[in-house]
Amino acid sequence: MKKNIIVIICMILSINVFAQEAKDKHLAKLPAVEIQDLNGNPFNTQDIQNDGKPVIISLWATWCKPCIAELLAIADEYEDWVEETGVKLYAISIDDAKTSARVAPFVKGKNWEYTVLLDVNSDFKRAMNVNDVPYMCILNGDGEIVWQHTSYAPGSEEEVYEVIKSLVKK
Amino acid sequence: MNFKSIQRVLLATFLFLCCWSANAQHQFGNSRVSGDFGFNGMYYIPDSIIGADPVDSKVRGNAFLNILYTNGGFSAGARYEFYMFPLIDFEKIGYQGQGIKYFFADYTNKFISVTAGNFYEQFGNGLTLRAYEDRQLGIDNSLLGARIKLTPYKGIYIKGVWGIERYNFDPYLGRQDYVRGADVEFSFGEMFPKMQQKGFIARVGANVVSKFEKSEQDIYFYIEDSTEAGSTAVIPSDKIPENVATWAARGTFGYKDFRIDAEYARKMNDPNLPNEFIYKPGEALFLSATYSRQGLGIAASFIRADNMEYRSQRWENNNSLLMINCIPAINRQYSYQLIGDYSYASQPNSQIGAQLQVNYQIPKKTALGGKYGTDITFNYSRFHDIDKVPVQEAIDNGTPMGTMGYTSSFFKFGPNLLYQDIGLEISHRFNNKKWKWILAYNYITYNLEILQGHEGMMRGHLVASDLSYKITPKHALRLELQHLYTKDDDGSSVYAMLEYSISPSWFFSIGDDWNYGNPLEDHKVHYYNISCAYVWNTTRIALNFGKTKEGILCVGGVCRAVPASFGCGLSVTTSF
């Protein structure tokens, strides 16, 4: 019972923090988590940047159908998006040891132009408090998270593009 | 200091940090509190035909709350779980209770990372150590203890861990088992950047893991013989190893588009319940080779595992509990409704098999490729048990227990086919981008006896179609049709599902899985499902009503049983 009370206090406190955050428009930045690039070299998520231009981050997996549908839909538009806004998409796979070796052939087979990273121990997923994939977020030129979304419905890539365009206009 | 007091101190620190950060938010832009919450509940209705038995409390649910505090290199977090009246699937695997079973504090900079509390970790491919979490399956093998990671020089990585493995909601206090290990990795590409620039990758690593478990009781077992009463034999407690070590060595080598991964692991004698208390050492080999260039990817892998179940406690044999390592299932994973029950489950004590997958894109702007290209995936995998010849002592004794068990020739496939899958998947987008079609065919052979404990083999043909149509930029329809043709097990089924989505927030779906080929007339059941979901940023609320077939749920080759159920479910997830 004591534990429950502590937890409730925790919750209230966190909500309090959350509310304050919203008031101050205090935008979060990405946590610094060590993940890997496709060669298996370490990559710190704090190094995700795009020279002051917006960044899209997608958390996905080779076994997740809606994730692939979303990345496929964006792949069709990606060339135009890059040309118009200079955006860069980081596709961070949460495939673990069983399937992570297959990420590179999968991505190449799909002809994706994204920067692909591997979060094999789900450390970045946990640090971002992500429950389920697909998860997508957009960073502005200062690396602040300005938009987040979970799950994929066909057409939601249009909203992603709207957000990016508004960031570039500013 | 006992665990309770450690827990209290950590909680107090944590609370302090919460308050501090709430007040200090303006001064320190880097400090941040975030979290996520999930609830998954269901109202159960009994249904005798599908085997959904009445349950003692009809309303059940799983809930958890994660809170995470970060400030620069420092982070701390805790998860509260409330599984007092869990969904029946979770009750079946003993995942029932409540409390904070996950909490940690961590400090990381360029050279060192120290974690105290619970952590998840993996050495190499996980053949010796893999502490991980899969909420859907009810697996949480986190270790409670300490971890240190060092990077003394560019390209050299050292890890050390010590901890007690989580055992559902059982207390850590009084446990007589723990795990410790160390791993080292050399990445030559980082040490010699010139090598990497020329396109070479070379990385080698090795690790040792050891588990300790006190042995105080003799192990008695029953042997069937000519007498009616049979006889008993015993392994005295001092003959049971308290320390069981595993080691592994691995390497990754690549040049430009080619890459090879290899890992070999060996386990010392480890008599335990799943291996029938034999003293034979275990071993595993994992090989993977890939080739990829724009538009083409080929991946081939091989695995052999012999007596490699490695757990914190020798008497545990529940599927996912107290596993220290994880022998990967390398087959392709599918999300098709009708073959979900025939997903291969990795057999760490006896499996040998291989898998080949080819992804190819017919180039864009060609006759076959169309404007957006056509993606083709071909897949073949086959797994057998390993070849086993019982040792003479085991034959003489009438039981393998207490002996070396068997001998096995390394590359020989055993007599029993466990799983085979031949698959082809074609995905095409039509020129106006409104239509998208995925068509798949699979021929699956699945050993029901070894993988599920029923009799016989399941041989089935699956044809699946997934057609999407964008009505307007925001409104879309998706129709899934599947047909599984088989004469085995529960017979053939058809499945249809229609989903309507309004981007980015609304999802509606209606589906029916009809087991029309069931040999029993009254078991030709419609497993229908209606669902509705609303998504707002990172919050998702979903309602569903329908029937779930008894079967198995597999994520990455690790499976658990799913009991039949009928009812109404609510799921809420959010992060902040």
Cβ pair B132:A121 closer than 8 A: yes
- Residue B208, amino acid: V
**Cβ neighbours of residue B421 closer than 8 Å, sequence gap 6 or more:** B331, B332, B344, B379, B380, B381, B382, B442, B443, B444, B445
Judged by CB atoms within 8 Å, which residues 48-107 of A form the interface with B?
63-65, 69, 72, 76, 96-99, 101-102, 104-107
Cβ pair A31:B429 closer than 8 A: no
Q: Who has greater pLDDT, B14 or B508?
A: B508
Q: Does a cis peptide bond (omega within 30 degrees of 0) precede residue B281?
A: no
Give mean pLDDT, residues B248-264. Answer: 94
Our CA-based measurement puts residue A52 at a distance from the nearest CA of chain B, in whole angstroms, of 19
Our CA-based measurement puts residue B476 at a distance from the nearest CA of chain A, in whole angstroms, of 6
The structure tokens listed for B352 are: 């040998």
Give residue B560's pLDDT. 78
Residue B563 and residue B89 in contact, taking contact as beta carbons nearer than 8 Å: yes
State the Cα–Cα distance between residues B116 and A92, nearest whole angstrom: 27
B326 burial (CB, 10 Å; 0-12 / 13-18 / 19+) is buried
A28-169 CATH, one of 3.40.30.10, 1.20.1440.230, 3.50.50.60, 3.40.190.10: 3.40.30.10
How many beta carbons lie within 10 A of that of residue B576, not counting itself? 18
**pTM attached to this predicted model:** 0.88
Residues of chain A in contact with residue B36, where contact means CB-CB under 8 angstroms, are 129-131
**Cβ neighbours of residue A136 closer than 8 Å, sequence gap 6 or more:** A56, A57, A58, A59, A70, A148, A149, A150, A160
pLDDT in tens, A43-87: 999 899 899 999 999 999 988 888 999 999 999 889 999 999 999
State the Cα–Cα distance between residues B424 and B155, nearest whole angstrom: 40
Our CA-based measurement puts residue B190 at a distance from the nearest CA of chain A, in whole angstroms, of 8
Say if residue B225's pLDDT is above 80: no
The SS3 assignment for B441 reads strand
Give residue B368's pLDDT. 81
Residue B288 and residue A101 in contact, taking contact as beta carbons nearer than 8 Å: yes
Q: Who has greater pLDDT, B26 or B301?
A: B301
Cβ pair B25:A26 closer than 8 A: yes
State the Cα–Cα distance between residues B120 and B455, nearest whole angstrom: 38
**Cβ neighbours of residue A142 closer than 8 Å, sequence gap 6 or more:** A52
Q: Who has greater pLDDT, B2 or A68?
A: A68
Longest Cα–Cα distance in chain B: 82
Nearest CA in chain B to A104: B292
Choose among B305, B388, B386: nearest CA to B348.
Answer: B305
Cβ pair B470:A154 closer than 8 A: yes
Residue A130 and residue A59 in contact, taking contact as beta carbons nearer than 8 Å: yes
Q: Who has greater pLDDT, B224 or B569?
A: B569
State the Cα–Cα distance between residues B354 and B84, nearest whole angstrom: 42
Give mean pLDDT, residues B232-237. Answer: 86
Say if residue A18's pLDDT is above 60: no
State the Cα–Cα distance between residues B155 and B118, nearest whole angstrom: 27
Q: Is A39 on the interface with B (CB under 8 A)?
A: yes
State the Cα–Cα distance between residues B519 and A73, nearest whole angstrom: 43
Residues of chain A in contact with residue B430, where contact means CB-CB under 8 angstroms, are none
pLDDT in tens, B320-360: 789 999 998 888 888 888 988 899 999 999 999 999 999 99
State the Cα–Cα distance between residues A10 and A22, nearest whole angstrom: 18
Say if residue B234's pLDDT is above 90: no
Which residues partner with B407 through β-bridges? Answer: B389
Q: What are phi and psi of B368, to 5 degrees?
A: -80, -30
CA B71 to chain CA centroid, Å, is 31
State the Cα–Cα distance between residues A169 and A159, nearest whole angstrom: 15
- Residue ranges per domain, chain B? 337-576
Residues of chain B in contact with residue A39, where contact means CB-CB under 8 angstroms, are 189, 196, 201, 254
Cβ pair B535:A149 closer than 8 A: yes
- Indicate the helix (H) or strand (E) that contains B163: strand B156-165
Residues of chain B in contact with residue A11, where contact means CB-CB under 8 angstroms, are 65
The DSSP secondary structure of B59-70, one letter per residue, reads EEEEEEEEEEEE
Cβ pair B295:A20 closer than 8 A: no
Nearest CA in chain B to A63: B333
Cβ pair A155:B507 closer than 8 A: no
Residue B36 and residue A129 in contact, taking contact as beta carbons nearer than 8 Å: yes
Cβ pair B78:A10 closer than 8 A: yes
CATH of domain B337-576: 2.40.160
Pick among A98, A118, A151 to test the B interface (most B CBs inside 10 A): A98
Count of CB pairs separated by less than 8 Å, A with B: 228
Give the one of B196, B290, B475 whose C-beta lies nearest to A101's C-beta.
Answer: B290
Nearest CA in chain A to B130: A121
Q: What are phi and psi of A106, to 5 degrees?
A: -65, -50
pLDDT in tens, B451-484: 988 889 999 999 999 999 999 989 999 999 999 9
CA B33 to chain CA centroid, Å, is 29
Residue B37 and residue B66 in contact, taking contact as beta carbons nearer than 8 Å: yes
- Of all residues in chain B, what percent carry a pLDDT higher than 70? 94
Q: How many CA within 13 A on the CB side of residue B477?
A: 7
The SS3 assignment for B236 reads coil
Residues of chain B in contact with residue A13, where contact means CB-CB under 8 angstroms, are 15, 18-19, 22
Say if residue B422's pLDDT is above 90: yes
pLDDT band at A110 (very low <50, low <70, confident <90, very high): confident
State the Cα–Cα distance between residues B83 and B444, nearest whole angstrom: 36
Cβ pair A110:B375 closer than 8 A: yes
The SS3 assignment for A165 reads helix
Give mean pLDDT, residues B280-288. Answer: 96
Cβ pair A76:B187 closer than 8 A: no
Give residue B380's pLDDT. 97
pLDDT in tens, B76-96: 999 999 999 999 989 988 899
Cβ pair A107:B292 closer than 8 A: yes
Residue B35 and residue A14 in contact, taking contact as beta carbons nearer than 8 Å: yes
pLDDT band at A10 (very low <50, low <70, confident <90, very high): low
Give residue B399's pLDDT. 87
Cβ pair A20:B22 closer than 8 A: yes
C-alpha angle B139-B145-B148 in degrees, rounded to nearest 5: 110
Cβ pair B359:A40 closer than 8 A: no
Residue A13 and residue B15 in contact, taking contact as beta carbons nearer than 8 Å: yes
Give the one of A14, A106, A121 whose C-beta lies nearest to B33's C-beta.
Answer: A14
Give mean pLDDT, residues B3-26. Answer: 52
Q: Who has greater pLDDT, A150 or B554?
A: A150
B225 burial (CB, 10 Å; 0-12 / 13-18 / 19+) is exposed
Torsion of CA B43, B44, B45, B49, to 10 degrees: 150
Cβ pair A151:B535 closer than 8 A: yes
Our CA-based measurement puts residue B241 at a distance from the nearest CA of chain A, in whole angstroms, of 30
- Residue B562, amino acid: V
Which residues partner with B235 through β-bridges? Answer: B219
Give residue A167's pLDDT. 92
Cβ pair B535:A13 closer than 8 A: no
Say if residue A16's pLDDT is above 50: no
> Percentage helix, strand, coil, to 5, in chain B?
10, 55, 35
Our CA-based measurement puts residue B427 at a distance from the nearest CA of chain A, in whole angstroms, of 10
Cβ pair B292:A105 closer than 8 A: yes
State the Cα–Cα distance between residues B193 and B171, nearest whole angstrom: 48
Our CA-based measurement puts residue A5 at a distance from the nearest CA of chain B, in whole angstroms, of 11
Give the one of A99, A105, A151 whose C-beta lies nearest to B298's C-beta.
Answer: A105
CA distances (Å), B561 to each of B257, B264, B299, in order?
A: 40, 31, 30
Mean of pLDDT over chain B? 90
Residue B483 and residue B463 in contact, taking contact as beta carbons nearer than 8 Å: yes
Our CA-based measurement puts residue A170 at a distance from the nearest CA of chain B, in whole angstroms, of 22
State the Cα–Cα distance between residues B270 and B240, nearest whole angstrom: 8
CA dihedral for B250, B330, B429, B542, sign (positive or negative)? negative
State the Cα–Cα distance between residues A56 and A77, nearest whole angstrom: 14
Cβ pair A31:B75 closer than 8 A: yes
pLDDT in tens, B126-174: 999 999 998 888 899 999 999 999 999 999 999 999 999 999 999 998 8
- Of all residues in chain B, what percent carry a pLDDT higher than 90? 68
Pick among B33, B207, B474 to test the A interface (most A CBs inside 10 A): B33
Torsion of CA B168, B172, B174, B176, to 10 degrees: 80
C-alpha angle B530-B533-B539 in degrees, rounded to nearest 5: 155
